Structures are given as structure tokens and as C-alpha cells.
């Protein structure tokens, strides 16, 4: 297991390397000189030159890359072009709402999608099955931000049940914390739910045709036992894989959802950075999100042993 | 469908033309509905100037924030612009971006996938690059690209092509990998056919079905992500109305003018839904075996 873990980590290194190169080049190929942006509209050429030297932009590109990788290894993501504060510090300040939203969405999606998918597979071809598939196709087609505004309009403006926007930390009270997360979670979770429900149904349908399920049914086990302990466990590997792959949807969605619900998280940081053309923040956030995506998929790979003992490392 | 209904079925070839059409509709209701909606959307976009629209960027401060009614079907926005005209013209951007991205992604993905699957020396390099691109979440990649260049329709299209292409490459490559072991490819090689000829005459036609289906999914994501980018301010520039930036401008009016958010979002959702329905239908029709490789 340990050897496998190390091997998997090593296998993600080239991908991570590519991400670092890409993020590094992104700023270099971009039109517009970061130093000039930083210096402002009324800067003298000497001023711009000084800032360029300060950022290390006057050095040859391979040296710049080496310096960039070096600082990354030390955990230094650079400095915001506008506020001049370390990017890692800005990210640390904004990470809590994003983590809270991502985790609640993950839980929401798994808790709704898996039962729906199981139900649909168990009663394949029935009305229930069709209803689930309609939800699945619909969930794929509804834009997150539109769903977000529909929910705000319905539950906050018309019914006045939940807060419109904003974020309250769990340290300030667990009830307002949850209240503020409900609508964003549903808006963001819909796509994920649709994806997972679809794959749960497909995976379970395949398993339900196997001989050991017929045996389990024949020996008089309760349908629930057959479904959840025998079938679902064997259908789990594709489902868990999809949780990992779908994490990319979640990351993209987080940026939009935070914007709709005015959550002060990493997504907001990204959007503000886009508007201010703050390259270093965009670089830092892209790196963090890509690394977390790789990490989640690494964990997914590790979890296979839990569901299928035949997978031995 | 029980066994009774099957007794009365006339062989397909002997049916008159209209009955063939009718049977097709009855058997594929969702696909036909999706195709019909999509055709409607395309027609709306194509004939936008003739559909009782006014200039979508004309401001009219006297008519600000009018509720939907007879003169302004979808109401007016905070600058007094006609929301209906803006939504109809917005269809042009969404569909144009979706179609162009789907077309270019399919062609590039097909070419790279064929090479990767058949020329083994290049396979490893190509696939590592594709893995790298896929490690970046697609919306984030598109955001970074547009943020660092300039918000224009062309840059949005490029920003969408980059993250979507690896998906097509992987699909085409996986098909080529199974095809290359088939006797007909072996026979062609034995007869001395060159690699380009094998790729174009023997491999390419066999990937088309899957490619078309994947193309519809690419189009659906492109339409959605373009709207998302425009909503975040990293997409279509504000002077061109698109569903995403219409909603971005209207976002602070959710309490007082909800119609400004309702209509563009509805059109967007219906468009994406119709593309997805057509994609699912094509997938089931063209080849049930390819269904498993999708998504």
C-alpha cells in the first residue's frame, strides 16, 4: 500500500510539473507588461524598469522559471500586483468559505445522487427511473448562476426563508453558518448530483445483472440488503471515480457560485483578480485549485481498496 | 412496449414516408423535442433583426426597468434597453461560440487523436500534455486565458477550445487503439498502404459516429462555460449582448427586476438542454457500444 501510494504520488508529478509550467508561461505570453500595470498610468520609464527588476522580469526566461519553481517549493506564491501582499496569505484568508462550500456540496451531492441512482436502477424503466433521468439531464443543462438566482428569488425574496447572500463563519454560530450555505450548496450541487446519479444508475444496472445478485435474491435476502451491501459496494468504483472527475466541475462552479451568493472565498478572489488583472493572484489560485484537483483524484485512487479488495497494491 | 404491440408493426421499409417520420417521433420523443428546440433557437438567432426586435444596445432612460408587457415583452433593463431584443441577439453569441468551438475541437481532436493512437512514438508525449491540460479545471483555464489576454469573442473561443480538445483526443485515441488490431487495418498494412492513407481511409470513418456525439457535448459545455465566463466578466465584452453578461449586469436587480435574470437564463438552459437531448439521442441511435466511452 505504501509503495503504491508513493508510486501514485510520483505519477502525479509530471502532471503537476505541466501545471506549473503552464501557469508560469501564462503570465509571460500575456500581452501587457505586469510591471507597467503595477506602476500605474503616470509612471516614468525608470520607475517601470525598477519594478520590472524587482519582479525579476529582466532576467532570462529559464532563470525566471528556476526562481519561480524555487519560490514555489518554499511555499511562496508571489505577491499581489495591487495590494502588494503575499498571495499565499490572501489565499489563506479566503479559503474557509470555499472549503465549507465545497464540502457541503460534496456531501449534498453524494447524499442525493446515490439514493436517486440506486432507486432508478432498482426500478429501471419505471416512472421513477424516468423522473431521475429527467433530473439528471436537467441538472446538466441548468446554468449554476441562473439556478442560484432562481433560488434567491424564491426562498429569500419571495418566501423570506433564507438569507439572500453572504457568508457567516461557523465560529460565529452554526445555525447562521448553515443557513447561508443551503442555497449555494443546492445551486452548485445540482450538476454534481446529475453526474453522480447518472453514473450510479449505470454502474448499478450492470452489477444487478450479475450472478451473485441473483444468488443473493434467491437465498431470500431483503431487497435493501442486496441493493446496498451486495450491489452498491460492487458498483462503487465507477461512482467514486466520477466523484473525483466531477471535482473539476465543482471547482469551476465554486467560482461562479461564490460570485452569485457574494461568498468571500477563493472564487471571489479570482474574479476580483480578473477585473484588476492581478496576474500573481490568478497564478496562485490556478495552482491551488489544480493541486487540490490532483489531490482529490489521488485520494480517489487510494479509496479503491476499500470497495474492492481484489485491487491490491 | 409489450409483446402485443409488436404484432401489428409493419416492416419499416414498407411504411409510407409520413409514417416513418411519425414512428421516429414516437420512438424518440426527447431527441425530436431537443432537435426542434435547437432548430427554433438557431432560427431565432439567424432572423433576430426581423423578429420585432429593436437595437439591443439602444438606451432609453425614460423606459427604465419596465415590467414585461405588450411593448416590451421581456421588460426593459436599468438603461431602458429592450430585454427581449437583447435576449434574442444574445442567442447569436451563444450558438456561434458553441458551434465554432465544437467544430474546431472535433477537427483538432480527431487529427491529434488519430496520430496519438496510431503513431506509437508520439503517443506518450501527446497524452502527457493532454493529461496536463486536463489537470486544470476547464472554467479556471478559460478564466486565466481570457483574463490574461483580452475579453473578446475570439479569445473566449480559444479559451474554450484548449480545455475541451483533450477530451476528444482521448476518445478518438481509445477508438483507434481498438481499431488498429482489427483485421481490416492489418490487411491494409499488409497491402502496403501508407500510414496517412490508413488513417484517413480506414480509421477516420470509424471514429465519426463517436466524434459527432462528443461534438454535441462539447457544444453544450462551450455554451454553458461561455455564459459563465461572460457572467464573471471574463467573456464577451459588455457592448455585445450575450446571455451571460446580460445576467451579470442585472444581478443587483434580483429583487426589483427579476425578469432581467429570468429570461436570458431560461433561454440558456433551454439551449443547453436541447443540445444535450440531441446528443443523447444521437448516441443511442448511432452506436450503443460507444455509449460507455462517453462522458
* Mean pLDDT estimate for chain A: 83
Residue contact A273–B147, C-beta within 8 A: yes
Nearest to B137 among A252, A271, A283 (CB): A252
Among A29, A141, A187, which would you mutate to test the B interface (most chain B Cβ atoms within 10 Å of its Cβ)? A141
Cα distances (Å, whole numbers) of residue A53 to A36, A64, A300: 12, 11, 44
- Measured in angstroms, the CA of A225 and the nearest CA of chain B are apart by 28
Residues of B in contact with A270 (CB under 8 A): 140, 143
Q: Is A307 on the interface with B (CB under 8 A)?
A: no
- Res B295 pLDDT > 50: no
Q: When comparing pLDDT for B277 and A302, which is higher? A: B277
pLDDT in the model for residue B100: 95
Q: Is the entire prediction scored with pTM above 0.90?
A: no
By the CB < 8 Å criterion, does A27 face chain B?
A: yes
Residues on chain B touching A293 (C-beta within 8 angstroms) = 135-137
Q: Which residues pair with A86 in a beta bridge?
A: A79
* pLDDT score of B288 more than 80: no
CB contact under 8 A, B258 and A142: no
How open is the CA angle B266-B272-B278, to the nearest 5 degrees? 130
pLDDT tens sequence across B79-92? 767 778 888 888 88
* Chain B nearest-CA residue for A155: B255
> Can you read off the three cell numbers belonging to residue B138?
476547464
Does A228 lie at the interface with B, CB-CB under 8 angstroms?
no
Is the per-residue pLDDT at B9 higher than 70? Answer: no
B218 Cβ under 8 Å from any chain A Cβ? no
Q: Which of A15, A26, A260 sits opposite B144 (nearest CB)?
A: A26
Say which DSSP state B10 is in. P
Helix or strand holding residue B27 (H, E): helix B17-27
Distance, CA of A176 to CA of A70 (rounded, Å): 42
Q: What was the pLDDT predicted at A58?
A: 74
CB contact under 8 A, A143 and B272: yes
Closest-CA residue of chain A to B127: A15
Neighbours of B287 (CB within 10 A): 12
Q: What is the ipTM of this complex?
A: 0.81
Cβ–Cβ contact B136 with A under 8 A: yes
Tell me the CA end-to-end span of chain A in Å, nearest whole number.
5
Of the candidate ranges A12-16, A240-244, B156-160, B222-226, the one whose mean pLDDT is the lowest: A12-16
Identify from B37, B87, B136 which residue to disrupt to test chain A contact, counting A C-beta atoms within 10 A and taking the largest count.
B136
Whether A289 and B140 lie within 8 Å, measured CB to CB: yes
Asked whether the beta carbons of A312 and A305 are under 8 A apart, the reply is yes
Distance from CA of B20 to the nearest CA of A (A): 25
In degrees, rounded to 5, the angle at the alpha carbon of residue B138 between the alpha carbons of residues B285 and B105 is 50
pLDDT exceeds 90 at position B101: yes
Whether residue A252 and residue B132 make contact (CB cut-off 8 A), yes or no, is no
Whole-number Å distance between alpha carbons of A69 and A21: 9
Give residue for cell 462503487.
A236
Q: Which long-range contacts (CB under 8 A, 24 or more apart) does B244-248 make?
A: B244/B268, B246/B77, B246/B83, B246/B86, B246/B87, B246/B90, B247/A145, B247/A146, B247/A149
Residue A233 CA to residue A230 CA, distance in Å, equals 6
**Chain B residues within an 8 Å CB radius of A143:** 224, 227-228, 265, 268-269, 272
pLDDT of residue B15: 75
- Of B41 and A164, the structure prediction assigns the larger pLDDT to B41
Torsions phi, psi for B204 (to 5 deg): -55, -50
CA–CA dist B126, B128 (Å, integer):
6
**Does B148 contact A30 at a Cβ distance shorter than 8 Å?**
yes
Option in B128, B129, B143 nearest A270 (CB): B143
How many Å apart are CA B271 and CA A140, to the nearest integer?
Answer: 12
CA distance B77 to B250: 8
Q: B48 and chain A: CB distance < 8 Å anywhere?
A: no
* Closest residue on chain A to B273 (Cα): A141
CB-based burial, B65-76: b 16+ in 10 Å, e otherwise: bbebeeebbbbb
A11 touches chain B (CB under 8 A): no
CA B88 to chain CA mean position, Å = 18
**What are the helix and strand counts (H, E) for chain B?**
12, 0
Residues of chain A under the 70 pLDDT cut: 1, 30-34, 37-38, 40-41, 311-313
- Measured CA distances, B204 to A43, B192, B284, B289 (Å): 57, 18, 20, 17
- Has residue B5 got a pLDDT over 60? no
How far, in Å, CA of B26 to CA of B9, rounded? 13
What confidence category does residue B102 fall into, taking pLDDT thresholds of 50, 70 and 90? very high
Question: Which tops the pLDDT comparison, B74 or B105?
Answer: B105
B1 CB within 8 Å of a chain A CB? no
Q: Is A256 on the interface with B (CB under 8 A)?
A: yes
More confident residue, A194 or B69: A194
What pLDDT is attached to residue B223?
93
Whether residue B231 lies within 8 A of chain A, CB to CB, comes out as yes
Contact between chains at B232 and A274 (C-beta distance less than 8 A): yes
Amino acid at each position: 500500500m505504501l509503495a503504491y501510494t508513493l508510486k501514485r504520488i510520483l505519477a502525479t508529478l509530471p502532471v503537476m510539473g505541466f501545471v506549473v509550467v503552464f501557469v508560469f508561461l501564462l503570465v509571460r505570453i500575456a500581452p501587457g507588461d505586469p510591471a507597467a500595470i503595477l506602476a500605474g498610468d503616470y509612471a516614468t520609464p525608470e520607475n517601470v524598469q525598477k519594478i520590472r527588476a524587482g519582479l525579476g522580469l529582466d532576467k532570462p526566461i529559464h532563470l525566471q522559471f528556476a526562481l519561480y519553481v524555487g519560490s514555489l517549493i518554499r511555499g511562496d506564491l508571489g505577491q499581489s500586483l495591487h495590494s502588494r501582499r503575499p498571495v499565499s496569505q490572501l489565499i489563506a484568508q479566503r479559503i474557509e468559505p470555499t472549503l465549507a462550500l465545497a464540502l457541503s456540496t460534496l456531501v449534498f451531492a453524494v447524499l442525493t445522487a446515490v439514493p436517486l441512482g440506486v432507486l432508478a436502477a432498482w426500478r429501471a424503466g419505471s416512472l421513477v427511473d424516468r423522473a431521475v433521468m429527467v433530473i439528471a439531464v436537467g441538472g446538466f443543462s441548468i446554468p449554476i448562476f441562473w439556478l442560484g438566482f432562481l433560488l434567491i428569488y424564491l426562498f429569500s425574496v419571495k418566501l423570506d426563508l433564507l438569507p439572500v447572500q453572504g457568508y457567516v463563519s461557523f465560529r460565529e454560530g452554526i445555525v447562521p453558518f448553515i443557513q447561508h450555505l443551503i442555497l449555494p450548496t443546492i445551486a452548485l450541487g445540482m450538476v454534481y448530483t446529475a453526474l453522480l446519479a447518472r453514473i450510479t444508475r449505470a454502474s448499478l444496472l450492470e452489477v444487478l445483472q450479475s450472478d451473485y445478485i441473483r444468488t443473493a435474491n434467491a437465498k431470500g435476502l431483503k431487497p435493501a440488503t442486496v441493493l446496498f451491501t451486495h450491489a452498491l459496494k460492487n458498483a462503487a468504483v465507477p461512482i467514486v471515480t466520477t466523484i473525483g472527475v466531477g471535482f473539476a466541475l465543482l471547482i469551476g462552479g465554486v467560482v461562479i457560485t461564490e460570485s452569485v451568493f457574494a461568498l468571500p472565498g477563493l472564487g471571489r478572489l479570482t474574479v476580483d483578480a480578473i477585473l484588476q488583472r492581478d496576474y500573481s493572484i490568478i497564478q496562485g489560485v490556478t495552482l491551488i485549485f489544480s493541486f487540490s484537483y490532483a489531490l482529490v483524484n489521488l485520494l480517489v485512487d487510494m479509496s479503491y481498496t476499500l470497495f474492492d479488495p481484489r485491487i491490491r497494491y | 412496449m409489450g409483446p402485443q404491440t409488436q404484432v401489428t408493426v409493419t416492416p419499416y421499409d414498407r411504411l409510407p414516408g409520413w409514417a416513418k417520420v411519425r414512428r421516429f417521433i414516437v420512438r424518440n420523443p426527447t431527441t425530436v423535442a431537443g432537435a426542434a428546440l435547437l432548430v427554433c433557437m438557431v432560427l431565432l438567432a439567424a432572423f433576430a433583426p426581423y423578429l420585432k426586435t429593436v437595437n439591443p444596445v439602444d438606451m432609453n432612460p425614460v423606459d427604465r426597468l419596465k415590467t414585461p408587457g405588450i411593448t416590451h415583452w421581456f421588460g426593459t433593463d436599468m438603461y431602458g434597453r429592450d430585454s427581449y431584443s437583447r435576449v434574442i441577439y444574445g442567442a447569436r453569441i451563444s450558438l456561434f461560440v458553441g458551434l465554432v468551438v465544437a467544430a474546431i475541437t472535433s477537427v483538432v481532436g480527431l487529427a491529434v487523436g488519430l496520430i496519438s493512437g496510431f503513431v506509437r512514438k508520439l503517443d506518450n508525449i501527446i497524452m502527457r500534455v493532454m493529461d496536463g491540460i486536463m489537470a486544470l479545471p476547464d472554467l479556471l483555464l478559460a478564466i486565466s486565458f481570457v483574463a490574461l489576454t483580452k475579453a473578446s469573442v475570439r479569445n473566449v473561443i480559444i479559451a474554450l477550445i484548449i480545455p475541451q480538445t483533450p477530451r476528444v483526443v482521448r476518445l478518438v485515441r481509445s477508438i483507434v487503439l481498438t481499431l488498429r488490431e482489427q483485421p481490416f487495418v492489418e490487411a491494409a498494412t499488409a497491402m502496403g498502404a501508407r500510414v496517412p492513407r490508413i488513417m484517413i481511409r480506414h480509421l477516420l470513418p470509424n471514429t465519426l459516429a463517436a466524434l459527432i456525439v462528443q461534438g454535441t457535448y462539447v457544444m453544450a459545455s462551450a455554451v454553458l462555460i461561455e455564459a459563465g465566463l461572460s457572467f464573471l466578466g471574463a467573456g464577451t465584452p459588455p457592448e455585445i449582448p450575450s446571455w451571460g453578461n446580460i445576467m451579470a449586469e442585472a444581478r443587483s436587480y434580483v429583487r426589483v427586476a427579476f425578469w432581467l435574470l429570468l429570461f436570458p437564463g431560461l433561454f440558456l438552459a433551454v439551449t443547453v438542454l436541447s443540445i444535450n437531448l440531441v446528443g443523447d439521442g444521437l448516441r443511442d441511435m448511432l452506436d450503443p457500444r460507444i455509449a460507455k466511452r462517453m462522458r
